[in-house]
Copies of this chain bind each other. A is one copy, B any other.
Amino acid sequence: MNPDAIKVACSNCSLRELCMPVGLTPDEQDLLDELVANRRKVKRGVPLFSNGDDFIALYAIRTGFFKTSVATEDGRDQVTGFQMAGEIVGLDGIVGNHHTCDAIALEDAEVCVMPYNRIEDLSREVSALQTHVHKILSREIVREHGVLLLLGSMRAEERLAAFLLNLVQRLHARGFSQSELVLRMTREEIGSYLGLKLETVSRTFSKFADDGIVEVKQRHVRILNTQALRNIVNTPACH
Given A72-B234, A148-B144, A78–B134 Cβ distance below 8 Å? no
CB distance from A102 to the nearest CB of B (A): 11
Chain B residues lying within 8 Å of A146, measured Cβ to Cβ, are 70
Choose among A73, A151, A236 the residue with the greatest number of B CB atoms under 10 Å from its CB.
A151
CB distance from A70 to the nearest CB of B (A): 5
CB distance from A73 to the nearest CB of B (A): 6
* A130/B124 in contact, CB under 8 A: yes
- Majority SS at the chain A contact face: helix
Cα–Cα distance between A95 and B135 once the two chains are bound (Å): 4
CB-nearest residue of chain B relative to A134?
Answer: B94
Interface size class of A (residues with CB under 8 A): 35 or more
* A93/B138 in contact, CB under 8 A: yes
Cα–Cα distance between A131 and B121 once the two chains are bound (Å): 11
Cβ of A74 within 8 Å of any chain B Cβ, yes or no, is yes
Given A78-B152, A151-B151, A92–B138 Cβ distance below 8 Å? yes
Chain B residues lying within 8 Å of A152, measured Cβ to Cβ, are 78-79, 151, 192-195
When the two chains form the complex, which single residue of B72, B80, B92, B145 contacts A92, counting CB atoms closer than 8 Å?
B145
The interface of chain A, by Cβ under 8 A from chain B, is 70, 72-80, 91-96, 100-101, 120, 123-124, 127, 130-131, 133-142, 144-149, 151-153, 192-195, 234-236
* A148/B148 in contact, CB under 8 A: yes
CB distance from A78 to the nearest CB of B (A): 4
* B101/A145 in contact, CB under 8 A: yes
Cα–Cα distance between A53 and B72 once the two chains are bound (Å): 37
CB distance from A51 to the nearest CB of B (A): 11
* B78/A142 in contact, CB under 8 A: no
CB distance from A56 to the nearest CB of B (A): 14
* B78/A153 in contact, CB under 8 A: yes
* A73/B135 in contact, CB under 8 A: no
